[in-house]
Structure formats: structure tokens, C-alpha cells
Amino acid sequence: MKQITCPVCETATTQDTEFCPECSWDIDRSAGELIIGDPAELQQEAERKQHKLQQYRTLYQQAKRVEGFETRLAELENEQRTTRKNIAKLDVGAQRMKMLEQRITALESAQSQNPTIDTLQNRLTALEAWQQGDFRSKRLRSEPRTVSENDMQTVFQVRENGRPLWYLANDFEVQEQVIRDHATSLMWQRGGSEKGLGYAEALTYIEQLNREQFSGYADWRLPTVNELLSLMIATQENGDLYISRAFDVRQRWCWSIDKRSSLSVWGVRFSGGLVGWSSLNGINTFVRVVRS
């Protein structure tokens, strides 16, 4: 089968095809005619054919262009659909972004209104201090004890320098010669010995108070360090003493009943705000008695 090229669309096809499969040009007629006649008429016929071919070719090209436009139009419509979808996605994205921003603002606002970790830590520390200092339901140690330097910090609940780890919130009821502390259920002498006494003299002084029934009672005794520390406050309120003004200012340093060794006894210095000790012969230490 002989291959020919369509004169309109230039598609290759076979000679026995009647019409071009691409542009429908009448191939059969344009190809196989044998014409005999007047050369002038043949010339005219040829020109007419040529003209017709040209017209058809123009039509074909226009049709191809339209087809091209249609394809392009379909492409554009498709692009438009895709763009619309993308815009919708962007809208969803923008809405989501807005929601996230609102959530962040809400979180920031909540954070500014709620306590920070530091604040919570402070509250926790305060609560722990309160718990340690809450002796309304727990009695302070009243039994004497021999306490070594090593055990001082844990037994007396003081720092290395002898200062208290915490201060008790007192609840004083001041009377003429005594002060009741409802926080500890202890009754204290407001004053104490007029001067510093050695330890033996101190014990004699207390015997005398009990014999005379000082303020109506005969069970006065030397306090433990822990009991003395329950009177200590964090600031120098009474002259230079770390004790309430309700007490006499003379007893700057008080004996406790707790021994440090066979030759020394623990005491509390209200002047320095700390725990210390004196030898049994020390004479600068005062007595302030207590009863439970």
C-alpha cells in the first residue's frame, strides 16, 4: 500500500483511503483524477482545485486553533478548580491559624493569672515552715537530754551557726509575773534571775522559787533548749534581743537543762539569736524558768 501525505493537514495516510482520517479531505478525488481537455480549462480546473484546497486548509487550521483554544480553556478551567481548592485549603489554614493564636492568647492569659512555679515553691516552703512550727498539738521536748556538738543541729533544729531553722508563732497571754504561750502550752517567767548565775546557783534559785510558790506554782524548772528557742523571734524586737518586748530585757543569755558534756551546759543567747553553751562555772548566764 502506497503512503501519501494529506495536502491539507500533512498527515501520512494510505492512497486507497477515501477521506483523510485527520481532516476529512477528499483524498481519493484529489489524488487519482486523470483529466484530458483544453489546456486553458485544465488550468482553470487546477486553479479552482488549488483554491478549494487552500480554503479547506484555512478552515482546517482554524478548526485546529479552536481545538487548541478548547484544550487551553479546559486546562484553565482545571487550573481554576485547583486554585479554588487551594484557596479553600488556605481559608481552612487561616482559620486554624486564628484558632491557634486564640489558644496561645488564652494560655498566656491563664499563665499570667496562675501562680508561677516560683510562687508555688514559696508557698510550699511557707507551708512546710508552718507545719514544722505548728506545735499547738505537739509538745516541745521537756525532758533533759545530753546533746553533743554533732547532734546539736538535728536535736535543736538549728543551723551550723546555732540560729534556728524556723521560728514559732507565739500566742502570748501576758500576766503580772508570767506569760502563758497558748501556742506551746508553756508558762514562762516574764523576768528571771536578777544577775548571771553559775549552774549550781541556778538550780538553787529554782528551788527557792518553788518553795515560795512563785506566781502560785511549785513546779518551775529549767527549760530545754527547744523550749527556750520557742521564745526566739527572727528580729531584734526587745532592745537588741531576739525576743518579744513582753519579756524582761535583763536575761540576755539563759541556761537550759540540756547538758553538752559533764562540764558544760547548752544555753540560748537572746542577744545573738542563737544557741550556745557555758561551762558549769560560767557566771554570765541567767535563769528564766518554765512550767508545763
Contact set with Zn ion (CB under 5 A): 6, 8-9, 20, 22-23, 25
Shortest reach from residue 11's CB to Zn ion, in Å: 5
Q: Is 214 left (phi over 0), alpha (psi -120 to 50) or beta?
A: beta
Closest by Cα among 224, 223, 252 to 236: 252
Q: How many CB atoms lie within 10 A of CB 254?
A: 24
The three cell numbers of residue 278 are 557555758
Shortest reach from residue 61's CB to Zn ion, in Å: 11
Task: CB nearer to Zn ion: give 3 or 112.
Answer: 3
Shortest reach from residue 6's CB to Zn ion, in Å: 3
Task: CB nearer to Zn ion: give 17 or 279.
Answer: 17
Task: CB nearer to Zn ion: give 30 or 244.
Answer: 30
Task: CB nearer to Zn ion: give 19 or 172.
Answer: 19
Task: CB nearer to Zn ion: give 9 or 287.
Answer: 9
Can you say how many angstroms the Cα of residue 51 is from the centroid of all Cα atoms in its chain?
90
Q: Give yes or no for a contact between 6 and 22, defined as CB atoms under 8 angstroms apart.
A: yes
Run of H or E residues at 188 = strand 186-189
Closest by Cα among 249, 255, 253 to 201: 255
- What is the rounded CA–CA span in Å between residue 251 and residue 168? 20
Total residues belonging to the chain:
292
Shortest reach from residue 45's CB to Zn ion, in Å: 21
Shortest reach from residue 63's CB to Zn ion, in Å: 11
Four-residue CA torsion sign, 287, 202, 217, 257? positive
- What is the rounded CA–CA span in Å between residue 186 and residue 172? 10
Q: How many CB atoms lie within 10 A of CB 179?
A: 19
Alpha-helix residue ranges (DSSP H) falling in 114-148: 117-133
Q: Give yes or no for a contact between 241 and 252, defined as CB atoms under 8 angstroms apart.
A: yes
Shortest reach from residue 81's CB to Zn ion, in Å: 35
Task: CB nearer to Zn ion: give 64 or 182.
Answer: 64
Task: CB nearer to Zn ion: give 20 or 290.
Answer: 20
Shortest reach from residue 25's CB to Zn ion, in Å: 4
Task: CB nearer to Zn ion: give 27 or 275.
Answer: 27
Shortest reach from residue 3's CB to Zn ion, in Å: 13
